[in-house]
Amino acid sequence: MQTKTTLLTTLAAGFLAMSSTVALADIGHGEPPTYGTPGEAHHVSRTIEVRMGEMFFDPKSIDVAPGETIRFVVINEGDVVHEFNLGTENDWVSHINEMERMTAEGMIDYDRIDHEKMRAMGMMHSDPNSTLLEPGERAEVIWRFPDEATEVGFACNVPGHREAGMVGNIVFRGES
């Protein structure tokens, strides 16, 4: 009995520690991004299909006009979970720990996303600049790019994937 109580206390302490880390990680998500804002459907000027697989994005480079609102239709044609995440290298680097923990905790399995577990852990992973997809799934990301050219690209943050080549460029061209 003594041992059991100690074990439960330890588990509870561990869970609390984890929860506070999650809260801290979420604060980072609240900062306004430098590379645009969530887009509105009635402002969309172009729809661009982005295919994901092991370990690629197709296309790997996308031209946008300053101020343009794009509807990205993202399709996971691969055999494992992939993410399309608009952002900067800095964002992705600071995102690594969170994604590694989501994998370690079983929220992201090889070919499955445990949405229930994510919800329970307070990690909805439904940011407007990003979509995380199981094999065969598709989703839309509507994004308005800023009026001035800035550093932005897209990457898959499932551990190891960006390093293996799942990263692409957004190139600002022409007039809005």
Which residues lie near Cu ion (CB under 5 A)?
82, 156, 158, 161, 166
Shortest reach from residue 67's CB to Cu ion, in Å: 29
Q: Which is nearer to Cu ion, 87 or 146 (CB)?
A: 87
Q: Which is nearer to Cu ion, 57 or 145 (CB)?
A: 57
Shortest reach from residue 54's CB to Cu ion, in Å: 8
Shortest reach from residue 65's CB to Cu ion, in Å: 28
Q: Which is nearer to Cu ion, 154 or 172 (CB)?
A: 154
Q: Which is nearer to Cu ion, 125 or 161 (CB)?
A: 161
d(CA 122, CA 119): 5
Shortest reach from residue 50's CB to Cu ion, in Å: 12
